[in-house]
Amino acid sequence: QAQLLESGGGSVQAGGSLRLSCDASRYRYSTKCRGWFRRTPGQEREGVAILDSDSGGTWYADSVKGRFTISRDNVKQTVDLLMSTVKPEDTGIYYCAAGPATYGGICRLSQFNTYGQGTQVTVSS
């Protein structure tokens, strides 16, 4: 049974918006580091956004900075990714992820060790 379950994927035209949601109710919701990764055609999986659940701090890949927003809904126990002004190169499979922080309390891409099954996002031009 998946511990992280993504939803909200689909098809959207370039310039539009899409919200992805990660249901973490079956996972340790208190896990400090939450994030979203993606695998675009012909590329390896890459980190897109990170949320430090304790501090609220965020990190974004340069390719999505200013367009994507990661947030947490404590009532729904979800971690969401709002994708705005999407581009065809945003097409791919998006994965919700979770993991521990480093000993120094930092959330790093390399620390993520649990992933959802992914949801497809297709952006048409």
Q: For residue 101, give the DSSP letter.
A: P
* Length, in residues, of the chain: 125
Residues 6+ apart with CB under 8 A from 115: 4, 37, 95, 96, 97
Beta bridge partners of 78: 23, 73
Q: pLDDT tens-digit profile of 68-123?
A: 999 998 888 899 999 999 999 999 999 999 998 988 889 999 999 999 999 999 99
Query: For position 30, what pLDDT does the model report?
Result: 61
Q: pLDDT exceeding 90 applies to what percent of the chain?
A: 79
Cα–Cα distance for residue pair 21/107, rounded to 1 Å:
20
For residue 64, what pLDDT is reported? Answer: 98
Residue 27 binned pLDDT confidence (cut-offs 50, 70, 90): confident
